[in-house]
Amino acid sequence: MASVDVLIATYNRPESLILTLTGVATQTLRDLRVIVADQSDEPVGERQTILTLRRVIEARGGIVEWHTRPQVHGIAEQRDFLLRRARADAVLFLDDDVLMEPPVIERLLEALRTEGCGFVGAFPAGLSHRDDVRPAQQIVQRWAGRVRPEVVEPESPAWERWQLHRAANIYHAAQRLAPGERILYKVAWLASCILYDRQKLLAVGGFSFWQRLPRFHSGEEALVQNLLMRRWGGCGMLPSETYYAQVPTTVLNARGTVDGHALDLLPEMVARYVEPFVGATTASDGAGMAQEMAAEEPPPARAR
């Protein structure tokens, strides 16, 4: 069995998928099983460059499993499909527009095993914003000690942690670390490159709720991560060493919006998958949250 199953859903983005598979093919951790669910209008699995990358992954000790399937139900169903085929203890949900530097999966796996939490993410930077420095959005709340369960309610002060993941903030924040320094930080939610403990993810229902959502939706990973944080905790990794291709999204309707958000299901999912099992601590809010942010924000002289 592979150490990590890499789960990739793709739709009509062959160029960025090549970028993504190149990152997978050059990982320092070679013991990977890559499962791709391709819903492109014209399947891309047999394109020569993609075939070459599949062969490279296999030549380096990995396995590639490719599924061509119709696009009908949306991204949460795709994630459910992929998760049902996973067997490794750790599963990496990797979007088809993300480039990883070679050590990313190995470092995510080490953090997940060490912390025993529900997930660890490496949020990608959009480097078109490399010169767009936003110090007020680059607040990093480090985990002191091990990652612990916490409650982060949508629209609470702790939910503002998402600001770190705008533009190239994650890239700029990493520049403030000492050479070779690596940290885990508190999140509201993560996207695009997240390593989950598979059994813990299944324990909160995985993505089986997809049938409750309209065809065009968002927030499916924010929902499962919120549940996981309440029971086991979750975190981000800095530096993330991941980068967005910055191509248009493919999960929106014809109006460029969504018809529903998975977080609408949060209260009933908490009642079903969290409350019967644990009582998590609530994330700091109000003045306490402000003090924590201020204490961890770098001094102005170091802000970029």
Q: Supply the pLDDT for residue 287.
A: 33
The reported pLDDT for the residue numbered 282 is 67
pLDDT band (50, 70, 90) for residue 299? very low
pLDDT at 259 over 70: yes
Name the nearest CA neighbour of 230 among 115, 154, 150: 150
The pTM is what? 0.91
Main-chain phi, psi angles of 121, to 5 degrees = -120, 155
pLDDT range class, residue 255, cuts 50, 70, 90: confident
**Cβ(43)–Cβ(68) under 8 Å?**
yes
Where does the pLDDT of residue 218 fall: very low under 50, low under 70, confident under 90, or very high at 90 and above?
confident
pLDDT bucket at 253, cuts 50 / 70 / 90: confident
- pLDDT mean across residues, the chain: 91
Look at the block and give the residue holding tokens 């067997």. Answer: 87
Domains defined along the chain, listed by start:
4-302 (3.90.550.10)
Q: pLDDT at residue 275 above 80? A: yes
Separation between Cα atoms, residue 83 and residue 137, nearest integer Å: 33
Whether pLDDT at 245 is above 80: yes
Helix or strand or coil: residue 3? coil
284 pLDDT more than 60: no
CA angle (252 as vertex; 101, 95 as ends), nearest 5: 15
Question: Residue 140 has which token pair?
Answer: 């990093």
Determine the pLDDT at residue 280.
58
Per-residue pLDDT tens digits for 171-210: 999 999 999 999 999 999 999 999 999 999 999 999 999 9
User: What are 30-88's pLDDT values in tens digits?
Assistant: 999 999 999 999 999 999 999 999 999 999 999 999 999 987 888 999 999 999 999 99
Torsional class of 134: left (φ above 0), alpha (ψ -120 to 50), beta (otherwise): beta
Amino acid at 57: I
